[in-house]
Amino acid sequence: MIINADLHIHGCYSIATSKNMKPPVMAPQAKLKGLDLVATGDALHLKWLKILEETLEESSDGIFSLKESARVPEASSSEEESKFILTTEVEDIKRVHHLIIFPSIESAMKTRGQMKGNMDSDGRPRVRMDGSQIIEIAHQNGCIIGPAHAFTPWTSIYKEYDSIKDSYGQMPDFLELGLSADSDMADKIEELENISFLTNSDAHSPWPHRLGREFNELEIKKLSFDGVRDSILDKKIKANYGFDPRLGKYHHTACSKCFTQYSIEEAIKMKMRCPCGGKIKKGVDYRIHELSSWEEPHHPMHRPPYIHILPLAEIISITHGKGVTTVFVQKIWKEMVGRFNNEITALIHAPMEEVTEVDPKVASVIKAFRNKTLEIKAGGGGKYGEIVLPKNNLELNQQKFC
């Protein structure tokens, strides 16, 4: 069985997260995206666990579906809706973020009881523990665990350490790449040869231009926690889908206030302080260069392809110069999704001639993504990258992403 899974999101109790991040809204939106499985997020937060228990029921071991009583009237049937798996992100004492995937609510409650810190101050709890203590508790409770957005310059494992083992004392179960890196970049680092890479959205709102903006195609024997765990540990990931890393907010070294980009030599000479007064944050591209064992990626036999995508609404918005939530963009998005059943199919699998029939200008950008010919101005310092559109057949020459 092949499924599309987004294994890192946040619920409504996380800071800067939409109040709509609740299962009755998330389930049908995830299905429109084309996801079969989506994370619950925040499974150590007591109020969020209560919402999950009120709205979800276990449909198979460790997999949850929306209760009939929680389903909105116009939503699809439970057979068609995306399923859920329990997850959380945790911030450790060094401000490193970890992603944990749970086999059950009981496991989440046991883990919650063993963590040192205020579990309910935020959906993503900050605990007074290091990585080695967190991974030990996770494994005791049957979970799998790995570093979240492993290369970002704020709260990542490689921001704090030069080796994963310096945090965990061992290799974790997976590594999440984050929006500013892909497998071509990460496979320059020798210690990552034998680990599975995940690509997830880290979504803070349930709409399809956020949910599933990065996702994994998994080969599983059964839709269960064990099936997902075994797919990750046995390296049965068929593909990772996500941003071209140049579109990520931290790809290049840049000021976090004015977003001026610098070479690393310039930044160091300036003591990582921009003339505007802002801090200069080291780019993911340079951080990976520092950690690299090879100039070119050494992909192990088990490494699946990494396929660059962008949310369909973002592509429509960029192409036509209209806001993502405008009636104009949403009309085209609904037509695409209606024709091809879900967004992922429209982006990745739909015949280009059929996409062109809906909107030839949008089709040309989707084709450029598929062919890896899109021109991109890289992001940095907390500012997303920009897509540079061809002058001859598209309305705009340059349009900011997000």
Query: Is there a domain that residue 254 lies in?
Result: no
169 and 58 part of one domain: yes
pTM across the whole model: 0.93
Residue 339 resides in a domain:
yes
Q: Is residue 51 located within the same domain as residue 163?
A: yes
The answer as to whether 224 is a domain residue is yes
* The last residue of a domain, from among 221, 245, 269: 245
Q: How far are the Cα atoms of 13, 28, 77, 262, 342 from residue 25, in angstroms, in the given order?
A: 15, 6, 13, 42, 16
pLDDT of residue 399: 45
> Which of 245, 269, 293 is where one domain is finished?
245
Q: Tabulate helix, strand, coil % of the chain (nearest 5).
A: 35, 20, 50
In a domain, 292, yes or no: no
With respect to residue 258, please indicate whether it lies within any of the assigned structural domains: no
Q: 122 vs 89, 135, 359, CA distance in Å?
A: 11, 21, 42
Domain that holds residue 343: 312-400
* 317, 224: one domain: no
In a domain, residue 299? The reply is no
Instruction: Kindly state whether residues 143 and 26 are assigned to the same domain.
Output: yes
| In-domain check, residue 103 | yes
Give, for all 402 residues of the chain, the pLDDT tens digit: 999 999 999 999 999 999 999 999 999 999 999 999 999 999 999 999 999 999 999 988 999 999 999 887 665 555 578 999 999 999 999 999 999 999 999 999 999 999 999 999 999 999 999 999 999 999 999 999 999 999 999 899 999 999 999 999 999 999 999 999 999 999 999 999 999 999 999 999 999 999 999 999 999 999 999 999 999 999 999 999 999 999 999 999 999 999 999 999 999 999 999 999 999 999 999 999 999 999 999 999 999 999 999 999 999 999 999 999 999 999 999 999 999 999 999 999 999 999 999 999 999 999 999 998 889 999 999 999 998 876 654 444 444 444
Same domain, 329 and 213: no
Domain boundary among 227, 245, 263: 245
Q: Please count the structural domains in the chain.
A: 2
Backbone angles phi, psi at 279, to 5 degrees: -80, 140
Whether residue 200 is found in the same domain as residue 343: no
Residue 276 lies in a domain: no
* CATH value at residue 25: 3.20.20.140
198 and 324 assigned to the same domain:
no
